[in-house]
Chain A
Amino acid sequence: MNELPSFPAVTQLAIPIFIAAIFIEIIFVRFFKAVGEFEVYDVLTSLLMGTGNVVAGILFGFISYGILMWFWQFKFFDLGFFWWIGVIAFLIDDLRYYCYHRIAHRVRWVWAEHVNHHSSQHYNLSTALRQSWTGHFTGMVLLQVPLVLLGFHPAFLAFVYGFNLVYQFFIHTETVNSPAFSRHLAGSVSAALQSQRVTASRC
Chain B
Amino acid sequence: MPLEILGPLVLVGIISAVVLVRFVANTPPRLINTASQAQAILLNEFPSVVFGSKVMITKNGCEALIEIKEPANHLGLVHVMGSKHVARLMSVGEIRSITNNDPNDLVLNLKDLTLPKISLQFETDEQKDAALKLFENLKLSEAA
Query: Hey, which bits of chain A sit against chain B, CB under 8 A?
Result: 9, 12-13, 15-16, 18-19, 22-23, 26-27, 29-30, 37-44, 47-48, 51, 121-122, 126, 201
Contacts and interface: CB of A to CB of B under 8 A. Distances in A.
Given A12-B1, A122-B82, A40 B21 contact: yes
B89 to A, nearest CB: 17
B52 interface: no
A18 B81 CA distance: 25
A38 B18 CA distance: 10
A27 B83 CA distance: 18
Interface stretch (B8-16, B32-40, B69-77, B133-141): B8-16
B14 A44 contact: yes
Contact of B6 (A12, A38, A121): A12
B54 interface: no
B84 interface: yes
Given A23-B17, A121-B82, A40 B10 contact: no
Contacts of A48: 14
B113 interface: no
A23 B18 CA distance: 10
Q: How large is the interface on B (under 10, 10 to 19, 20 to 34, 35 or more residues)?
A: 20 to 34
A interface: dominant SS? helix
Given A13-B1, A26-B24, A29-B25, A39 B14 contact: no
B27 interface: yes
A37 B22 CA distance: 12
A38 to B, nearest CB: 5
15 contacts: A19-B9, A23-B17, A26-B24, A26-B25, A27-B24, A38-B21, A38-B25, A40-B21, A47-B14, A48-B14, A121-B82, A121-B84, A121-B86, A122-B27, A122-B84
B84 A51 contact: no
A41 B17 CA distance: 11
> Top 7 nearest A-B pairs by Cβ distance?
A39-B82, A19-B13, A121-B84, A30-B25, A37-B27, A47-B14, A26-B25
B21 A43 contact: yes
A151 to B, nearest CB: 30
A40 B26 contact: yes
Given A19-B17, A42-B81, A48-B14, 7 more contacts: A23-B17, A38-B25, A42-B82, A47-B17, A47-B18, A51-B14, A121-B86
Contacts of A38: 21, 25-27, 82
A51 B10 contact: yes
A23 B20 contact: yes
A99 B25 CA distance: 36
